[in-house]
Amino acid sequence: RKLLQQQQSMQHAQHLQHDSSSSPCSSADTPPSPPALTVAACQTTEDMLPIPEERRFHGGTTKNLIEDMIEIDRIDRLINLRGLRVMSVKEAADADAPCHRLSRIGDEIVEQLVEWTKQLPFFTELPIDVHTHLLTQRWAELVLLSACFYALSSSDAPPPMPTSEDTVSTTTDDDGQDVSLVDPSVNIRLLQRRLSTVMGKEIPLDHVEREAGSLVDKFTALLYTFSRLNLNADAYVCLKAITLLNFTPPASGISLMRDSHVRKVQAIQDQFVKALQIQLIGEADGGARLSDILTWLPLLHSAASVLLHSKMFYVPFLICKTPERLPDL
């Protein structure tokens, strides 16, 4: 079984197959592969046995649940992918090295999301097939949500007040470059510079605009609306779990998930919604309301649809993170 198979929700992955006119690499290079990974490593004998009562997921206290989610998040690993780092001196001698690394971005993304999934406090409560189905549906949303939070939490800009119409327009990254919350043209130029750095050659701006313009537009708008929510880490990890557990029945009405599993997913999601609500109540004035956050989720889903169609699904990472240099071996 594969974690992210060529199912209906992943058919857009065929667009990741680049031709010479749409890829920073030449036509002879391997294009970025669609996110797909076998999950045999996730399934152990333990998964096939009944779960002892003491190990069953009961949610625990809100504080403990949120602390567990923060501990396993490790957002820096998801954002700082090896394929998006600057080549070492040794690799720079190999002209194919950047394209080879970019071709594995999809696998890198999924590897990180699988590791996160395996550490979830409710992992043993659901069959592997259910986790596979949920991650297949929601991986793009998880990527965008993580990128939005990283861009704002790692910036030097003060958090915008959600009640003000004049929110902060940029966040300053660790290299002093501004990531715009309102102007896609700023972010497309930032993307072009960082992609050129990763590739070790100049990538024309018009090429980047043609291939990633719509995604940058959508991500910039999403980043702006997310900034107005003013979420802290506690609320973010709750929202990440809620996003993963947001099961959508197929359009055909025929679901591969049993009704009992669907109910279990919804019950676990409800626990995280309650945890989020409790966390928000404890926030000082100016924090987001639960209704604001739940209203934002359709915007996340819409942006994820654009990401799924994109040939450059690493765009959010390059916009929100300065590429680091790979160490020499």
Which tens digit of pLDDT belongs to each residue from 241-275?
999 999 877 665 556 678 889 999 999 999 999 99
The tokens for 296 are: 């934002």
Is the pLDDT at 53 greater than 50? The verdict is no
- List beta partners, residue 325: 86
What are the Cα distances from residue 281, in Å, to 164, 191, 237, 274, 301?
A: 20, 38, 16, 11, 26
pLDDT range class, residue 57, cuts 50, 70, 90: low
What are the DSSP calls for 249-283, one per residue?
Answer: --TTS--SS-HHHHHHHHHHHHHHHHHHHHHHHTS
Proportion of the chain above pLDDT 70, given as a percent: 67
pLDDT range class, residue 167, cuts 50, 70, 90: very low
Query: Are 153 and 227 in contact, with CB atoms under 8 Å apart?
Result: no
Mean pLDDT confidence for 200-222: 95
In three-state secondary structure terms, 180 is strand
- Give the angle subtended at the CA of 300 by the CAs of 298 and 303, to the nearest 5°: 110
Domains belonging to the chain, first-starting first, are 8-42+62-320 (1.10.565.10)
Q: What is the pLDDT of residue 10?
A: 31
Confidence (pTM): 0.79
Q: What is the pLDDT of residue 300?
A: 98
Name the residue with higher pLDDT: 8 or 31. 31
Mean pLDDT of the chain: 77
Which tens digit of pLDDT belongs to each residue from 19-43?
334 455 543 343 444 454 334 334 4
Which tens digit of pLDDT belongs to each residue from 67-101?
999 999 989 888 888 888 886 656 555 655 667 77
H-run or E-run covering 198: helix 184-199
Mean pLDDT confidence for 322-326: 79
Q: What number of other Cβ atoms are within 10 A of residue 171's Cβ?
A: 23
In angstroms and rounded to an integer, the radius of gyration of the C-alpha atoms of the chain is: 20
Is the pLDDT at 306 greater than 90? The verdict is yes
Which tens digit of pLDDT belongs to each residue from 105-115?
888 898 999 99
Is the pLDDT at 8 greater than 50? The verdict is no
pLDDT range class, residue 15, cuts 50, 70, 90: very low
What are the DSSP calls for 17-77, one per residue?
Answer: S--TTT-SS-TTSPPPPPS--B-GGG--HHHHSPPPGGGS-----HHHHHHHHHHHH-HHH
Name the residue with higher pLDDT: 24 or 199. 199
Query: Are 1 and 129 in contact, with CB atoms under 8 Å apart?
Result: yes
Q: What is the pLDDT of residue 327?
A: 62
pLDDT range class, residue 160, cuts 50, 70, 90: very low
- Give the angle subtended at the CA of 298 by the CAs of 291 and 308, to the nearest 5°: 150
Q: Is 6 left (phi over 0), alpha (psi -120 to 50) or beta?
A: beta
Q: What is the pLDDT of residue 97?
A: 65
H-run or E-run covering 90: helix 89-92
Secondary structure letter of residue 325 according to DSSP:
B
pLDDT range class, residue 118, cuts 50, 70, 90: very high
pLDDT range class, residue 174, cuts 50, 70, 90: very low
Q: What is the pLDDT of residue 103?
A: 74
